[in-house]
Structure 1
């Protein structure tokens, strides 16, 4: 059994800074180069050593063993600056199982018909506001959709529309500076720079806004049918301990809002970008939504028949996973891939790296939704990690897929979005992988849609 020091080191490290420059300049290319050097590869970030897991099976092992490979490392240290330590996504292993049991009823299948009604209303509200020929800032429009959906399903209208804009600005401030802050060494992250001050103010305002809503819900004592109500009344039937504390609810709600807004918006923006680059797939999607929706509003019952729509979302999550890099902290000496990792080691896993391995996917750089057709041979098990695996798999995976499917079906049923000539769409790196400067022109698909009358629900 070999030690941490015997793990291969990624090439091109520079004195003092290590691999910091390629990680800041072109991290996706850097990550994709690592599997050629081993199943585990060491990288240096200044004086710190991190181990990148490049193998899908070893990644699965680390995610399954969340007691040893616990939440931690540079990414989660930064996430906790805004979401705290007590939420479902940020809490340590010791607290996770209890919180997961308490939060799970909020995502019970019986709640989804109501969630999808709220989703459809919000999606129609935004897509119905566009005008023929309008140039859309697609990431911003998708963020508007997902923030409205998240606010409606989390708080049932407790966040007034007039307050949504400032909250979104704070969310954007948090995400825009996240990737750079991840590599800041203390005390640089606490210097009174404009970026640091903006970050702190945004995080503080977000917490204050959500804490006020939580206090209001507790005072009212009414189940509004939203996620927050479900968390407030949650109790563990197998345990006499009380439900979630205010701190746990607050941290979890902030996490749900940030994740539910940014990641789904990024996936939708990438999907629209990719469809515009692949007109044959776009035409097939138009045929599906025209047949399934038949001019009516997308509903929960339409989801099983939106098969190509869901495959497009899945392939987008493979090719451009919003959650593209994560860190974990080793809590006890352990073995992984023939190497001994001592307690305290920081490890990195990347869905983007796994999703782009040519030994796992044919033509991994190509956009091919049909690779997820159940009639075709499927990629290897655990080769797809947009929501992780194991006990800490994203609790909102079905919620996110449902929202993205309804949104993509609704938008493409009414609109065709085309790239503005001359722009180069590139990834903007942050906590989520999203397109930078993606502008598209909206063209109604039928004359009837020019009037922007909202589709009516089917009887």
Structure 2
């Protein structure tokens, strides 16, 4: 990897050998938020990795849109590929267009109503197990909702035991990859207990998905889920029967791993944050409850309800602004280029932080405030598209953005129709930026049953 041109300002606080590693590990979010004060592009060094952090919104957008020059790569994605493989979310530019063409039909708007039925059913199934007055691990519960939904929409015909095994392995991998991205590969090769757990989870998850793929191919039936669509997908630009005209088993596995992570981990954490914020903003919670009481007919949100769930959708959007699941992104320059009028050599790691962008006072009014109303029709017009990066931008924008927003909105509305979650006095909740997706740590809340209009509760 070539070194960046350090005519760029270097962030203060670097120490010999370690660079900014200690500052980054101590509080990654605070470190990233401090960088715009030093310029639009700031050089950092994390252990063995040098990188340029892009802080200006228009330059950030250019990096995301020009994915040929600023390709997927860097210390984050290079290590993520170890367990996510070469799927749509991690593949380089040379593979992306073909994969996107083949997978896009699975996320066509016409398929959302079918997916939404599973989203609603799985949210209801989880919240019906709650009991009033109990303390719940909120992240565990919202992850369960998202996992059940993901399993039902990706591989509905797979045995429950295999789905649960995959979920456990994904959690191990997602936690371990963040630690590994900061370590030189020769250090990471040391067989520590954590490294052995990581390697076992990686091997087991691949074996599990291949077992599911084999079962689907043997069954040769269309189950109406993503797995069936992936196995039937064909590249319209390739000759029938040509190599690459269909996805291989390894390619299907990589897509499944990408979808599993993107859906389960990111939406589960976004939902947990939303419930946390509502617990500390009772007036917003009252407005949410009033909306679901007026819109829902039996306490379960459906696809048909989405146009009227404006408050719910704005709460999700504002939650993901404050706590974007994809809080850190990396790219690698494929050729010598320029950025901000300065030379950037090929092979330079470039870092983008949606979290940093979403907390800038020059881009958002009162950025630390939880304010769902900022996404109302009039106020939202004042927010630059370059400043809102929850789902990325350009050709690499998240293919499942509509899927994710639909799932989160339906799940939150379904929860709010039956429950109010109260904070536990004295418990501290912190952001945990030591994983690929930004989640809450220590989030326990008390369930309080509520009687929604037209709904008979038995909790």
TM-score after normalising by structure 1: 0.95
> Which one is further off, 371-380 or 263-272?
371-380
Q: Find the counterpart in structure 1 of residue 104 from structure 2.
A: 104
Asked if structure 2 preserves the Cα contact closer than 8 Å seen for 1:371 and 1:378, the reply is no
**Alpha carbons of 1:283 and 1:325: their partners in 2 closer, same or farther (altered >3 Å)?**
same
Q: Deviations over 1:247-282 (max 9, x none)?
A: 111101111011111000010000000011110000
Q: Find the counterpart in structure 2 of residue 363 from structure 1.
A: 366
SS at 1:43 equivalent: strand
Q: State the shift of 1:214 in Å.
A: 1.2
* In structure 1, C-alpha distance between the alignment counterparts of 2:175 and 2:83, rounded to whole Å: 14
* In structure 1, C-alpha distance between the alignment counterparts of 2:394 and 2:456, rounded to whole Å: 44
Q: Find the counterpart in structure 2 of residue 288 from structure 1.
A: 291
Asked if structure 2 preserves the Cα contact closer than 8 Å seen for 1:107 and 1:396, the reply is yes
* In structure 1, C-alpha distance between the alignment counterparts of 2:134 and 2:176, rounded to whole Å: 29
Superposition RMSD in Å: 1.4
Q: Find the counterpart in structure 2 of residue 133 from structure 1.
A: 133
Question: How do residues 193-212 of structure 1 correspond to structure 2 at under 5 angstroms?
Answer: 193-212=192-211
Asked if structure 2 preserves the Cα contact closer than 8 Å seen for 1:70 and 1:328, the reply is yes
* In structure 1, C-alpha distance between the alignment counterparts of 2:118 and 2:47, rounded to whole Å: 47
* In structure 2, C-alpha distance between the alignment counterparts of 1:62 and 1:357, rounded to whole Å: 19
Q: Find the counterpart in structure 2 of residue 253 from structure 1.
A: 256
Question: How do residues 105-254 of structure 1 correspond to structure 2 at under 5 angstroms?
Answer: 105-160=105-160, 162-240=161-239, 241=242, 242-254=245-257
* In structure 2, C-alpha distance between the alignment counterparts of 1:123 and 1:184, rounded to whole Å: 39
Q: State the shift of 1:378 in Å.
A: 2.8
- The count of corresponding residues between Structure 1 and Structure 2 is 448
SS at 1:177 equivalent: helix
Q: Find the counterpart in structure 2 of residue 456 from structure 1.
A: none
Asked if structure 1 preserves the Cα contact closer than 8 Å seen for 2:330 and 2:352, the reply is yes
Q: Find the counterpart in structure 1 of residue 444 from structure 2.
A: 439
Asked if structure 1 preserves the Cα contact closer than 8 Å seen for 2:337 and 2:345, the reply is yes
TM-score after normalising by structure 2: 0.95
* In structure 2, C-alpha distance between the alignment counterparts of 1:48 and 1:295, rounded to whole Å: 54
> Which one is further off, 248-257 or 438-447?
438-447
Question: How do residues 268-287 of structure 1 correspond to structure 2 at under 5 angstroms?
Answer: 268-287=271-290
Q: Find the counterpart in structure 2 of residue 455 from structure 1.
A: none
Q: Find the counterpart in structure 1 of residue 79 from structure 2.
A: 78
The answer for unaligned runs of 5 or more in structure 2 is none
Q: State the shift of 1:313 in Å.
A: 0.4
Q: State the shift of 1:157 in Å.
A: 3.5
Q: 2:391 aligns with which of 380, 384, 387?
A: 387
Asked if structure 2 preserves the Cα contact closer than 8 Å seen for 1:132 and 1:450, the reply is no
* In structure 2, C-alpha distance between the alignment counterparts of 1:67 and 1:232, rounded to whole Å: 28
Q: Find the counterpart in structure 2 of residue 90 from structure 1.
A: 90
Q: State the shift of 1:363 in Å.
A: 0.5
Q: Deviations over 1:134-166 (max 9, x none)?
A: 111001111111110000000014131x34333
* In structure 2, C-alpha distance between the alignment counterparts of 1:296 and 1:238, rounded to whole Å: 46
Asked if structure 2 preserves the Cα contact closer than 8 Å seen for 1:123 and 1:410, the reply is yes
SS at 1:443 equivalent: strand
Asked if structure 1 preserves the Cα contact closer than 8 Å seen for 2:157 and 2:223, the reply is no
SS at 2:10 equivalent: coil
* In structure 1, C-alpha distance between the alignment counterparts of 2:299 and 2:53, rounded to whole Å: 47
> Which one is further off, 274-283 or 231-240?
231-240
SS at 2:445 equivalent: strand
Q: Deviations over 1:348-381 (max 9, x none)?
A: 0010011011100011011000000002243112
**Alpha carbons of 1:53 and 1:159: their partners in 2 closer, same or farther (altered >3 Å)?**
farther
* In structure 1, C-alpha distance between the alignment counterparts of 2:174 and 2:388, rounded to whole Å: 24
* In structure 2, C-alpha distance between the alignment counterparts of 1:324 and 1:47, rounded to whole Å: 21
**Alpha carbons of 1:415 and 1:151: their partners in 2 closer, same or farther (altered >3 Å)?**
same
SS at 1:294 equivalent: coil
Asked if structure 2 preserves the Cα contact closer than 8 Å seen for 1:134 and 1:442, the reply is yes
* In structure 2, C-alpha distance between the alignment counterparts of 1:47 and 1:172, rounded to whole Å: 26
Q: State the shift of 1:449 in Å.
A: 5.3
After TM superposition, what 4+ stretches of structure 1 lie above 6 angstroms from structure 2?
none
Q: Find the counterpart in structure 1 of residue 7 from structure 2.
A: 6
Q: Deviations over 1:223-270 (max 9, x none)?
A: 111011111111133432512121111101111011111000010000
* In structure 2, C-alpha distance between the alignment counterparts of 1:248 and 1:147, rounded to whole Å: 22
> Which one is further off, 108-117 or 267-276?
108-117
Q: State the shift of 1:450 in Å.
A: 4.6
SS at 1:387 equivalent: coil
Asked if structure 1 preserves the Cα contact closer than 8 Å seen for 2:126 and 2:144, the reply is yes
Question: How do residues 420-435 of structure 1 correspond to structure 2 at under 5 angstroms?
Answer: 420-429=424-433, 430-435=435-440
